[in-house]
Amino acid sequence: MSHTPWIPTARRVLVLIALLISLSAATPLLAQQAAGPRPQTPSVQTAQMPIASPVMELSMAQAVAMALETNLGLKRDRLDMSLAAQGIASARAAFLPSLTGGISRNTRTSVPTNQFETTQSISKSSNLTTSATFAQALPWFGSSYRVNMSGGRSATNGFSTFNPTLSSGMTLTFSQPLWQRLKIDSNRFGVESSQRNHQIVDLQLQEQILQTQTAVRLAYLNLVGAIAGVEVAQENKRTNDQALANARARIAVGSAAEIDAIQSEAAVLSSEDAVIVAETRVATSEDVLRNLIVDVARVDFWSVHIVPTDTFRAEPKEIDIEASIKNALDNRLDLQVARRQLELTRLNQDLTRDQTKMALDMTAQYSASGTGGTQIDPNTNLPVTVGFGSVFGDAFGYKNPSWTLGLTFGYPLGQTSARVNLARQQIQIDQATIDLKTQEQNITAQVRDAARQVTSGFRRVQSTQAALAANEKQLEAEQRKLAVGMASTFDVLQRQQLLASAKNAELAARIAYNQALINFERVQRIR
């Protein structure tokens, strides 16, 4: 073409003009250097120096261990276990013995009540009474017992066999249900239900732990993928930079047109944008992992830089669908929680069913008493005293015994609230049973789908790796054709873009495959 000969000459002229401008701009600077360097303020230099962020290098196993120790959500869930344990202790307190006691004193003066009594007939009495009761509900068959002990002293100015009079008594009562409350009662229901609630909370805590582990592993994997994405984007940018430099070299010798440089510059700018997006994704992925594993009490919580040390490759995994489904149905924690909740509903139904039965209770009671004090011996007319030791010995020594054995019964008539609640609870149990079967069916479907994702994910890795290798060969061939003038810069840029897309696709397939492996393990244990 007629324009080709003067393109190098025009470029030389532009270069000379730029050189003259740079020399004129450099003259004041040379003068300043000749006069001596300007002093710098040390404090400003120190303030402008960048402070290096602390680095935390972690493997995936270390990240999971840190999360189990410092994650705030898990710390809160562990407190639920303490609450559940307190619930068991509170329910068992119903079977602890109780001791009550009392003491009272009474003084009484009675005036004459008829005309035959004189003023000297005024009676005075003084009584002191003490009592203590020891009672306990037993955790077997709804039985209970009560021991009551009493003692007293009374004195009067009237006629009495003993004056003062000492008294003692002991009563032992045992109660045993024979029909209602024999197999279950409210106290035993409270203990068993609190124990099942403790098991449910424990399973839920295990589920939260596994969910946290899964979240950490996925976040760690995303960070590794984001860092690899930056490397891919930077490699593409270096390739585009080299292509731009080659285009400018060819333009300088007159073997290419300006359009080649413009196309290469556009590719460089596009790759720079991809690098920025990839670096932003790294920062976001790092913050996600940081919130899961780093202790919030650290002063460098937001500044510490997490560097993953594990790398992930796509290795094939053999999957036994039937064994995996069986493992999930046996060990899925949410399924175990549903089964425990169904057991709790059935236990509640047992209590309600018991309340519809006839009440038939047997009561056995034994009592004994003792009496003593001071009396006048009719033979000697001297006072004789029977002390407290002898009085209480009579009560505990099987003297003056009394036995009582009785039965009490009651039967609810008509459609009581217990019968209505029993019918309602049976409907709830039927619904829960259907929900449990539906949950098992959904778990089976989840495991099958997760297994398919693993299989298809590995096939995607293989196909994207093959496509990547093919695009690398095609780019090499296109560059050789460009060197001999059989291809254009535009053709090479297209191949570079295809190669960049193939690299990103292979990286995404590798990350997705490892995510599918994590998900396949997850669905066998938790939701």
Q: Answer whether residue 375 shows pLDDT above 70.
A: no
pLDDT at 22 over 70: no
What per-residue confidence (pLDDT) applies to 164? 78
Predicted confidence (pLDDT) per residue in 453-468, tens digit: 999 999 999 999 999 9
More confident residue, 166 or 335: 335
Query: How high is the pLDDT of residue 46?
Result: 34
Lowest model confidence (mean pLDDT) among 179-183, 447-451, 481-485: 481-485
Report which of residues 212 and 8 the model is more confident about: 212
Cβ neighbours of residue 198 under 8 Å, at least 6 residues apart?
81, 84, 85, 87, 88
Handedness of CA 89, 92, 93, 98 (dihedral sign): negative
Whether the pLDDT of residue 116 is over 60: the answer is no
Question: Where does the pLDDT of residue 123 fall: very low under 50, low under 70, confident under 90, or very high at 90 and above?
Answer: low
* Residue 425: per-residue pLDDT: 92
pLDDT digits (tens, 9 = 90+) for 248-301: 887 888 777 788 788 888 888 988 999 999 999 999 999 999 999 998 888 989
CATH fold for the domain made of 143-180+360-410 = Outer membrane efflux proteins (OEP) (2.20.200)
Q: Which residue has the higher pLDDT, 112 or 72?
A: 72
Q: How far is CA 34 from CA 24, 30, 37, 88, in A?
A: 16, 6, 8, 88
Determine the pLDDT at residue 312. 83
pLDDT at 217: 94
Residue 217: Cβ within 10 Å count: 22
Q: What is the largest CA-CA distance in the chain?
A: 164
- HSE-CB for 265 with a 13 A CA cutoff: 6
Question: Which residue did the predictor score with more confidence, 493 or 503?
Answer: 503
- pLDDT number for residue 501: 87
**What confidence score (pLDDT) does residue 128 get?**
86
User: How is the chain split into domains, by residue range?
Assistant: 55-81+192-344+429-523, 143-180+360-410
Find the helix or strand (DSSP H, E) in which 58 lies. strand 55-58
CB of 218 closer than 8 Å to CB of 518: yes
Helices (H), 294-332: 321-331
pLDDT of residue 115: 56
The pLDDT, as a whole number, for residue 378 is 65
Give the β-pairing of 55-58 and 305-308.
parallel
pTM of the model: 0.74
Domain 55-81+192-344+429-523 part of CATH 3.30.1330.60: no
Ranges 30-44, 74-88, 181-195, 413-427: which has the least confidence: 30-44
| Locus of tokens 């017992």 | 145
Mean pLDDT of 464-475: 92
Pairing assessment for the beta strands 402-410 and 55-58 based on DSSP bridges: unpaired
Average pLDDT of the segment spanning 434-438: 95
How high is the pLDDT of residue 59? 93
